[in-house]
Homo-oligomer: A and B are copies of this chain.
Amino acid sequence: MTADAYMPTREDKFSFGIWTVGWQGVDVFGGPVRPPMPADRAVRKLAELGAYGVNFHDNDVFPFEASEAERDQKIADFRRALDATGVVVTTATTNLFGHPIFKDGAFTASDRDVRRFALAKTMRNLDLAAELGARTYVFWGGREGAESGASKDIRAALSRYKEGLDLLAGYVVEQGYDLRFAIEPKPNEPRGDILLPSAGHALAFINELEHSEMVGINPEVGHEEMASLNYAHGISQALWHGKLFHIDLNGQNGPRYDQDLRFGNGNARGAFWVVDALVAGGYDGPVHFDYKPPRTEDDDGVWVSAAACMRNYLILRDKVRAFRADPEVKAALAASGVEDLMVPTLAAGETWRDVQGFTPDIETLGARGLGYEHLDQLALEHLYGVR
């Protein structure tokens, strides 16, 4: 396997948020370390690296305070870069967290005017998203939450959240936009606790929506791992529900601040299973990276890290395929009975009557080894590249 095998192509559908490579490094403890990056520059550079698509917040392209003229100019620049490079807008989203007006949330802000403004801001960007050809619209409710118990009536907040998404889905339907919604869960940060904290909570919530068929989820590696949850399991459950509309890949080292490391950093072993779950589950949406180049990096480092996200995905995809094709792995899977789980517990035509009172050879089954350590070691050796 040569290094060239890991060059991204359009077919890989790699995409990045404009805000990822454009992050200037502002955190709670320090100011910017890199100059602002115009959205069009981000597009051109990502194109050079082999990215296929981009995702943007409205205020990645033009500032919150932009005049109409400035807005138009920035969008024109952005569009020119897209046209020039062939990079597509796969996805778009609204910045409902940066401005002080959203400090208490957007769709679930206590203040009704803030909520109405959040809807208006989103509708306007839905128009732009549709115009630019996005097919997925992401909702990350980073400020929808609370630091203290009495400040947010959770049931009321969920009702307002639903109201907002129902209205926006209705708007999309009425406009005839070819857009699906994807909710991005996160447990905490920047709020003490955020609504819809995990993939599961978002999946449950979607069932209550008016247009639930057009709403899925966009789980992020780091967000689920901040809650000690297994991301590969999470996306597998989403696939099982038919709701994995988008993914945000990056790296995280367990429960701590949101690290947004490049994909491959953080939980390297978990990343292998993430790619395995995506490949096995037939996920065919954008392979999106939502990461932040560390503050230690200059502009060169930004592009090194962006390229590495894609490269690591390709390396892991290669490994995952080799793992699944390995005859010894197939034998181990069979020996462990992993595939027996695909066989329904009841045979065709059986009912509860057929298992009532069923008593197998309990002692033998209790003593049986599953051989999972052997199987897992095979996987690890594929990750290590020693098989």
Contact = CB atoms under 8 A, between A and B. Distances in A.
A164 interface: yes
Interface in A358-387: 358-360, 362, 365-381, 383-386
A55 interface: no
A148 B268 CA distance: 13
B265 A268 contact: no
Contact of A380 (B230, B239, B264, B369): B264
Contacts of A277: 154
Interface string A180-214: 00000001111011011111111111011000000
Nearest to A376: B148
How many copies of this kind of chain does the complex include?
Answer: 4
Contacts of A188: 228, 253, 256-257
A118 B359 CA distance: 9
Nearest to A233: B154
A373 B233 contact: no
Contact of A230 (B197, B276, B336): B197
A97 B189 CA distance: 21
A207 B200 CA distance: 12
A155 B240 contact: yes
A8 interface: no
B1 A386 contact: yes
B370 A149 contact: no
A189 B257 contact: yes
A11 interface: no
Interface stretch (A77-85, A130-138, A301-309): A301-309
Contacts of A200: 196-204
Given A103-B25, A352-B167, A383-B384, A256 B152 contact: no
Ranked nearest first, the 7 interchain pairs of A and B with the lowest CB-CB distance are A385-B385, A298-B369, A200-B201, A200-B200, A254-B254, A203-B204, A100-B366
